Amino acid sequence: MAFEYPETLKYLDSHEYARADEDEGMVTVGITAFAIDQLGDIVFLELPEIGDSLEKGEKFGTVESVKAVEELKSPVSGEVLERNEALIEAPEQIGDDPYGDGWLVKIKASDLEELDDTLTADEYKDQVGG
């Protein structure tokens, strides 16, 4: 099955994406359409509190499907500005719009250059087999 991976986003091999807002120094994080499909019906989300500080590469939450629990990894270090409360209430809707309303957290990044080692859309696509 072919999924969309917007060119404007940066990707982790652990299936998170990051949308950087250079002006605000802010990063929006979600998980890719591929990851959502692989997990199956998503039933539970655990996200950090606003104000929590995150470390690049460290766990910041969990996503659970009927079958499995997966950790969410942060693409940058920084402080949580917002979390998607609507999605916590209705996690099954994450697949409706993974790169839009399906966002998980917004992070005030300490250093946007931390995103330099992420994958491009094409690199990520190759990795998950198109």
Binding residues vs another protein (CB under 8 A): 40-41, 43-44, 46, 62, 64-67, 69
CB of 90 to another protein, least distance (A): 11
> Which lies closer to another protein via its Cβ, residue 26 or residue 36?
36
> Which lies closer to another protein via its Cβ, residue 61 or residue 78?
61
> Which lies closer to another protein via its Cβ, residue 63 or residue 105?
63
CA dihedral 23, 24, 30, 34 (to 10 degrees): 0
> Which lies closer to another protein via its Cβ, residue 43 or residue 120?
43
User: Do the Cβ atoms of 104 and 30 come closer than 8 Å?
Assistant: yes
CB of 92 to another protein, least distance (A): 8
CB of 67 to another protein, least distance (A): 6
The number of residues in the chain equals 130
DSSP assignments along 24-92, one per residue: TTEEEEEE-HHHHHHH-SEEEEE-PPTT-EE-TTSEEEEEEESS-EEEEE-SS-EEEEEE-HHHHH-GG
CB of 51 to another protein, least distance (A): 19
